[in-house]
């Protein structure tokens, strides 16, 4: 739930700065996009003019999601860590919008250079110097796909130790939990105020 509250703080700060701005909001948990299957994946490397009827049907929702990205001046993503990685619903969205030749490895893509703010919340500590640093698969993955492949300008907000107060295995981390929580909200508000007018969240 921490990722939701931090993204909400970002969004409120943004809307306070841009009361007439537009937001495209997607709750991938409540309304998930389809996971990639063989037919949908095949639309990535087939010219749309040559799509079969099944590919046309599978490609339509991908195109809608991509057009949302192309419209946005900035993107906000809540990415809680589930079992060391992102939720499958977010993975499905990433898979749908990542198409080589359309959004990935395209020099003149309208998405290239778009700022994307990722609230990467996690119950433990996975930063440099921690015992679990090698298991950080949220920031590494999203950096590789959204920044390196798609060319977006990625910026992470990281609330961590979010389960310190509730997890019996983490009592020694309770004194350390408040600082990253406060910083995450501070970062969300400051970056929300500075973000561009049209945000896809």
- The string of pLDDT tens digits covering residues 111-123 is 999 999 999 999 8
| Cα distance between residue 99 and residue 15, in whole Å | 31
pLDDT of residue 192: 94
**135: annotated binding-site residue?**
no
Residue 187 has pLDDT above 80, yes or no: yes
The C-alpha angle 38, 39, 45, rounded to 5 degrees, equals 95
**101: annotated binding-site residue?**
no
Res. 1 pLDDT band, cuts 50 70 90:
low
pLDDT of residue 104: 95
Report the percentage of the chain scoring pLDDT > 70.
99
Residue 200 has pLDDT above 80, yes or no: no
| Averaged confidence pLDDT in the chain | 92
**123: annotated binding-site residue?**
yes
**84: annotated binding-site residue?**
yes
**121: annotated binding-site residue?**
yes
Report the percentage of the chain scoring pLDDT > 90.
74
Q: Which domains does the chain have, with CATH numbers?
A: 2-200 (3.40.50.360)
**140: annotated binding-site residue?**
no
**82: annotated binding-site residue?**
yes
**122: annotated binding-site residue?**
yes
Tokens 């609230």 found at: 119
How far apart, in Å, are the Cα atoms of 112 and each of 73, 76, 140, 154, 200?
11, 15, 19, 11, 15
**6 is written with which tokens?**
């931090």
Q: pLDDT per residue over 44-103, tens digit each? A: 999 999 999 999 999 999 999 999 999 999 999 999 999 999 999 999 999 999 999 999
How far apart, in Å, are the Cα atoms of 164 and each of 80, 100, 127, 170?
15, 41, 16, 5
């Amino acid at each position: 739930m921490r990722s939701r509250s931090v993204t909400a703080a970002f969004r409120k700060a943004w809307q306070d700065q841009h009361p007439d701005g537009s937001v495209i909001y997607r709750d991938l948990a409540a309304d998930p996009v389809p996971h990639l299957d063989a037919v949908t994946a095949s639309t990535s490397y087939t010219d749309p003019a040559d799509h079969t009827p099944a590919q046309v049907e599978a490609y339509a929702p991908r195109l809608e999601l991509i057009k949302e990205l192309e419209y946005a001046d900035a993107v906000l993503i809540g990415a809680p860590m589930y079992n060391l990685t992102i939720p499958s619903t977010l993975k499905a969205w990433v898979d749908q919008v990542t198409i080589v030749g359309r959004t990935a490895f395209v020099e003149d893509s309208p998405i290239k250079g778009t700022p994307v703010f990722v609230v990467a919340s996690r119950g433990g500590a996975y930063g440099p110097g921690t015992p679990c640093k090698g298991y950080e698969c949220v920031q590494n993955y999203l950096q590789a796909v959204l920044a390196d492949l798609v060319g977006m300008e990625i910026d992470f907000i990281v609330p961590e130790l979010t389960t310190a107060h509730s997890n019996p295995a983490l009592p020694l981390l309770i004194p350390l939990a408040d600082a990253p929580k406060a910083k995450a909200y501070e970062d969300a508000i400051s970056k929300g105020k500075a973000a561009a007018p049209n945000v896809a969240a």
